[in-house]
Structure 1
Amino acid sequence: MPPRPIRLPSLDALLAFEAVARAGSFEAAADELALTASAVAKRVAGLEERLDQPLFLRQPARGLTLTPAGHEYLPQVRQALALLQAMPLHQRNPAVRERLRVSSTPTFARQLLVPALPGFTAAHPQVELELTLSVPLLAEGDAGADVEIRHGAVPEDLSAAQVLLHDRLTPLAAPALLARHAPLTQPADLLSLPLLRTPLQPWSPWLRAAGLADAAEPDEGPRFVDLGLTLAAALAGQGVALARLSLARHELADGRLVQPFPLTVPAERAYGLVCHRPSPAAEAFAGWLQAHCRAVEAENSSAAP
Structure 2
Amino acid sequence: MSQRPIRLPSLDALLAFEAVARAGSFEGAAAELALTASAIAKRVAGLEDRLDQPLFLRQPAKGLSLTPAGHEYLPQVRQALALLQAMPLHQRSGPQRERLRVSSTPTFARQLLVPALPGFATAHPQIELELTLSVPLLAEGDAGADLEIRHGAVPDDIASVQVLLRDHLTPLAAPALLARHGRLQVPADLLALPLLRTPLQPWAPWLRAAGLGDAPEPDDGPRFVDLGLTLAAALASQGVALARLSLARHELAEGRLVQPFALTVPAERHYGLVVHRPSPAADAFVAWLHAHCRTVEAENSSATA
Tell me the TM-score normalised to structure 2 length: 0.71
How far apart are 1:183 and its partner, in Å? 1.4
1:83-114 Cα distance to aligned partner (Å, 9 max, x none): 9xx9999x997301111000000000000000
Cα 1:195/1:9, change in 2 over 3 Å = closer
Look up the SS of the partner of 1:114 in the other structure. helix
Tell me what 1:32 maps to.
none
Please give the alpha-carbon distance, in whole angstroms, between the structure 2 residues aligned to 1:103 and 1:92. 27
Please give the alpha-carbon distance, in whole angstroms, between the structure 1 residues aligned to 2:212 and 2:302. 27
Query: Counterparts of 1:1-305 in structure 2 under 5 Å?
Result: 94-304=94-304
Could you list the structure 1 runs, at least 4 aligned residues long, displaced by more than 4 angstroms after superposition: 8-11, 86-89
Look up the SS of the partner of 1:246 in the other structure. coil
Say which one has the larger Rg.
1
1:136-162 Cα distance to aligned partner (Å, 9 max, x none): 000000000000000011111101111
Structure 2 residues not aligned, in runs of 5+: 1-24, 33-77, 86-90
Please give the alpha-carbon distance, in whole angstroms, between the structure 1 residues aligned to 2:111 and 2:165. 13
Please give the alpha-carbon distance, in whole angstroms, between the structure 2 residues aligned to 1:175 and 1:288. 35
CA RMSD of aligned residues (A): 2.4
Please give the alpha-carbon distance, in whole angstroms, between the structure 2 residues aligned to 1:134 and 1:187. 35
Please give the alpha-carbon distance, in whole angstroms, between the structure 2 residues aligned to 1:174 and 1:292. 27
Please give the alpha-carbon distance, in whole angstroms, between the structure 2 residues aligned to 1:183 and 1:127. 50
What amino acid is the match of 1:265? V
Cα 1:109/1:9, change in 2 over 3 Å = closer
Look up the SS of the partner of 1:164 in the other structure. strand
What amino acid is the match of 1:106? P
Please give the alpha-carbon distance, in whole angstroms, between the structure 2 residues aligned to 1:238 and 1:248. 16
1:198-229 Cα distance to aligned partner (Å, 9 max, x none): 00000000000001000000000000000000
What amino acid is the match of 1:144? G
Tell me what 1:59 maps to.
none
Cα 1:258/1:93, change in 2 over 3 Å = closer
Structure 1 residues not aligned, in runs of 5+: 1-7, 16-82
